[in-house]
Structure 1
Amino acid sequence: MDGSEDAQVPAKVSDGKPEPAGKVEVQPVAKDDQIRQRIASILKTTSWFGEPKVTVQDGIVFLKGTTENDESKQWAGDLAKNTEGVVAIVNQIEVTPTTVWNFDPTFQVLDELTRSFLRLLPLIVVALVVIALSWIFARLTVSVLRRGLVRRSLSHLLREVMARAGGMLVMLVGVYLVLRIAGLTQLALTLVGGTGLIGLVLGIAFRDITENFLASVFLSLQQPFREGDLVEVANVTGYVQRLTSRTTVLMTLDGNQVQIPNSTVFKSTIRNFTSNPNRREDFMVGIGYDDSITFAQEVTLKVLAEHPAILNEPEPLVLVENLGPSTVNLRVYFWLDGGRHSWAKVKSSVIRHIKRAFQDSGISLPDEAREVTFPHGVPVRMIEREGAAEPAEPALVKPTAEPETVATKAEAGLQSEASEIKEQARSSWTTGENLLTPSSSADSS
């Protein structure tokens, strides 16, 4: 082996800039041709010089060519100086900066990208096939779960959420397999473990929307009310019109449509007046201190027993509430069928009948402003004044007795107005799918 093969090139490159070359050994007695070949070979290998040319005569090295910067020119001179057998150096390399229109680096990058794409092409084809199969299996999973859940008494929203959750799980498995095939095992594990983090981030960003949607799912699952039920939620009383994925729509007793967020409905106390149609009502009536409490109770119970809208079971009650300034206050409790009768109308009818019964039985109904009662009347003596007497005011005509009818014209019957309010609810417009009623397509399947 000649000396050129044993020579070492201590040249280094740091951040694309050449560092000073070290000593280059050729042979103990180097010839000019060997020096020229060795230096020229090194200059070509670096690719820093354009058309490098090396000439050696009696140990004197002549360097010619072009380079892009002074550092490369200086490095070539140091290389020749450190080469064994070199006596002197004539560095004639010209520094010619690269023009801005040099597209060679761009072509090199494009060439590398093309080669990388060709190497990854089989992997891309396999990944596309796996993704396509995952999508097909996900659609099949959603279809199968939809048909299987129809047999269960679940709302349409809950069935749809469960079916799509199964399809999403199959799709995630496909993505995980693609990442494993691509050699991105750590990324695959991060994706599987990060789905919870993604859900947490989305839950925070869309907290209100997510909260209302989840509340609609739980309300569909628990079913605390049905369409048409009379409920009280968040101090709002009305008939349930529909349950959407965001709100619960009520038609109030005064004909107004109210939309309550499902999160508020889920966290509030729900009073369902329709689940148990029987409803208890009460009111207070005051009698005079000179009247018999027991007799007043018997009169009241007789009125309640004869009223057609009052239920016998549970039995009505008449209890002493308290002793007022001028009256003994009695609390009257009674039950009625809220599905058939309006409690406001029945209450009005009962109060009217009890007042008539008290008047017929001689039971006084004093007000709180009357501090002293005179059961035997008050004697009055008229004193005539001088002059002509003023004409007396016309006497007030005593009103006729209370009618004995169960319901007066003003009360408009005792029946419940639920049907009229529900008809108004059906004629009003609302947006969103009603989650309280199963979809026709699901039922038919």
Structure 2
Amino acid sequence: MGRLLLGVALIVMEVSLPPVRAQTGDAQPETPSGSPDASELSNEQISAPPETPDEVSVSEVVGDSEIGARLRQILTSTEWFRDEDVVVENGVVFLTGATESEKYRTWAGDLASRTEDVVAVVNRIRVAEPPILDLNPAWTELRGIGRIIIRSLPLAIIALAMLALTWMCGGFAQRLADRTILRRIQTKLLREVFRKVLMIPVLLLGLFFVLRITGLTQLAVTVLGGTGRFGLVIGIAFRDIAENFLSSILLSMQNPFQYGDLIEVAGQQGFVQRVNTRGTLLMTTEGNHVQIPNSQIYKGTIVNFTSNPNRRFTFVAGIGYDVPLSEAQDTALQVLTEHPAVLDSPEPQVLVEELGSSSVILRFYAWCDTSAHAWTKVRSSVMRLVLKAFADRNYSMPDDSREIVFPQGVPVHMVSEDLDAGKQQGDESGRVRGVLQRRNGQAPEQVVNRGEGDLSSDAADIRKQAETARDPEQSKTDLLAEPVSASN
């Protein structure tokens, strides 16, 4: 029994007591549960970088005199300050002097504050006010521009050489075109237009290369890209000029007239002297220069009197009712056919046009060669000869009858002298007949007299006037072919 109780007691003690670890040479001392492990602490200390101080002192303490001397040397070396001075007392820096810019004043304060062993900075540097008439900024800009120009001289020389080469290439292209494709174009204006069209792409290509060489690539792209928009703007702004230019091209292609032609357009009549890209220059028969825009000429009605040298002229004359009409027509027709300046084909005609109140109106038609004769002179000669032929045959040519109405009436006094005077005067037709009868005894009428000249064309006289007249534009801008004779 005693042994049993002893065994139970031993078992209870074995269970209730904590286990005892075996201590060896590798045993580690226990650490409190609240403290970190040694391995973890060493890793944190190794990974955390040390803090970098703002300043690293190379000496124990820098004296005030050394700080002031160093700052004074730096300020003097910059040459930005006038009457500069640095005073240091117990690490406090006092800056005095003058400068021309606020940025220099701020820079000096920052420099002093970053100096070693400086506690505080008192910046008493003042900014000097610039004078009213200060040309220094202008001179500074000019010097900067001068430096830029000097640095750009090599590129400018290369660009000029490239432009000269481009111009030479354009001229070569024009000469090559003149010898090949432009030889078939007879109109001078069209040749000039095609030569300019060939020159434009060459110049644009050369300009693009120049801009690329000078480093202005973006500008080159802008120039090439904006050519279409630029042309649109120019076309809108200079619409009239562009219209005249295009009209001049169309006129040169259609060629409605030539140099020296007598034309009538826009209410003006004259001989063609010049056609350029703006307008057409005419010289009227009065010797005046008239410039007409090509757009008006192209859109207007053109009458060319020279393209067909034969021109018909007309005039009228009245004969009395007592004159045989057929005989009068034959007489006038004989005068027309015998005149040397009147053409046989088309043949002349004498037609009754109107039966007037006191006379029969005859109209005369005849043709003449305007390249050899002036139609105005020929008409004058023919009218004079017809009048002479009618006078030789005692044909009466009475005036038109007139009716005068007096609303208030006219008092009439019967005087014998007035009656005698009325009897002596006779009627108007008798007076005209008497005049014509008195002419019967005169010499035969000449075909040409001094007043009419030699019936030659006025084109030669107008051409002489154009040669002696002052050029309205004072420039050689004639775009027509070479001058041709008036007979052409």
**Structure 2 counterpart of 1:196:** 231
Letter in 2 for 1:417: S
Deviation per residue, 1:205-240 (Å, 9 max, x gap): xx77x8877766665555433333333355554444
Measured in 2, the distance between the counterparts of 1:111 and 1:357 equals: 97
Displacement of 1:259 in angstroms is 1.7
Between 1:243-252 and 1:325-334, the stretch displaced more is 243-252
Give yes or no for the alignment of 1:136 onto 2:168. yes
Counterpart in 2 of 1:232? 264
The one-letter amino acid paired with 2:121 is N
Shift of 1:161: 4.6
Check conservation: 1:286, 1:328, Cα contact below 8 A.
Answer: yes
Is residue 2:306 matched to residue 1:266? no
CA separation of 1:166 and 1:341: change in aligned 2, threshold 3 A: same
* Alignment gaps of 5+ in structure 2: 1-48, 62-73, 404-414, 418-423, 426-433, 484-488
Q: Secondary structure at the match of 2:440?
A: coil
Give the 5 Å matches for 1:106-255.
Answer: 127=159, 130-148=162-180, 151-156=183-188, 158-180=190-212, 184-192=216-224, 193-194=226-227, 195-196=230-231, 199-200=234-235, 203=238, 220-242=252-274, 250-253=282-285
- In the aligned structure 2, how far is the partner of 1:107 from the partner of 1:229? 67
> What is the CA–CA distance in structure 1 between the aligned matches of 2:450 and 2:231, rounded to whole Å?
63
Spell out, residue by residue over 1:71-98, the C-alpha distance to the aligned partner (whole angstroms, 9 max, x if none).
9499859x89xxxxx9x95334442436
Secondary structure at the aligned position of 2:121 is classed as strand
> Secondary structure, in 3 states, of the residue corresponding to 1:145?
helix
Tell me which amino acid in the other structure corresponds to 1:191: V
Q: Please give the secondary structure, in 1, of the residue aligned with 2:439.
A: coil
Summarize deviations over 1:135-155 as a string: whole Å, max 9, x none. 332232233334446623445
Deviation at 1:343? 1.7
Partners of 1:411 and 1:76 lie apart in 2 by 109
CA contact (8 A) 1:288 1:364 kept: yes
Counterpart for residue 127 of structure 2: 97
Q: TM-score, normalised by structure 2?
A: 0.56
Point out the structure with max Rg over C-alpha: 2
Residue correspondence of structure 1 range 358-369 to structure 2 within 5 A: 358-359=390-391, 363-369=395-401
CA distance in 2, matches of 1:249, 1:76: 80
Give the 5 Å matches for 1:2-401: 2-4=50-52, 62-63=92-93, 72=106, 89-97=119-127, 127=159, 130-148=162-180, 151-156=183-188, 158-180=190-212, 184-192=216-224, 193-194=226-227, 195-196=230-231, 199-200=234-235, 203=238, 220-242=252-274, 250-253=282-285, 256-263=286-293, 266=297, 269-291=301-323, 293=325, 296-359=328-391, 363-369=395-401, 398-400=438-440
Shift in CA distance, 314/399, structure 1 to aligned 2, threshold 3 Å? closer
Q: Distance in 2 between matches of 1:247 and 1:187?
A: 37
The corresponding residue for 2:30 is none
Mapped to 1, the partners of 2:122 and 2:402 lie a distance apart of: 129
Deviations 1:108-158 (A, max 9, x none): 99799969986x788667645543432332232233334446623445455
Partner of 1:417: 457
Q: CA 1:72/1:343 → structure 2, altered by over 3 Å: closer, same or farther?
A: closer
Contact 1:149–1:159 (8 Å) recurs in 2: no
Equivalent residues of 1:247, 1:259 under 8 A apart = no
TM-score (norm. length: structure 1) = 0.60
- Separation in structure 2 between the aligned mates of residue 147 and residue 74 of structure 1, nearest angstrom: 77
CA distance in 2, matches of 1:2, 1:167: 75
Quick check: 2:159–2:210 contact (8 Å CA) kept in 1? Answer: yes
Looking at structure 2, the residues matched to 339 and 273 of structure 1 have their Cα atoms a distance apart, in angstroms, of 10
TM-aligned CA deviation for residue 175 of structure 1: 1.4
Q: Distance in 2 between matches of 1:231 and 1:63?
A: 99
The answer to whether the 8 A contact 2:266-2:297 is kept is no
Distance 1:127 1:288, change over 3 A: same
RMSD (CA atoms): 5.5
AA paired with 2:297?
A: F
The structure with the greater share of residues assigned to helix is 2
Q: Number of residues paired by the alignment? A: 375
8 Å Cα contact 1:239/1:250 also seen in 2: yes
Q: Residue type matched to 2:168 in 1?
A: I
Closer, same or farther: CA 76–316 of 1 in aligned 2, 3 Å: same
Percent identity of equivalent pairs:
34
Instruction: Report the CA distance shift for 1:252/1:227 in structure 2 as closer, same or farther (over 3 A).
Output: same
CA 76–227 in structure 1, closer or farther in 2 if over 3 Å, else same:
closer
The 8 Å contact of residues 73 and 93 in structure 1, kept in 2 or not, is answered as no
Q: Secondary structure at the match of 1:232?
A: strand
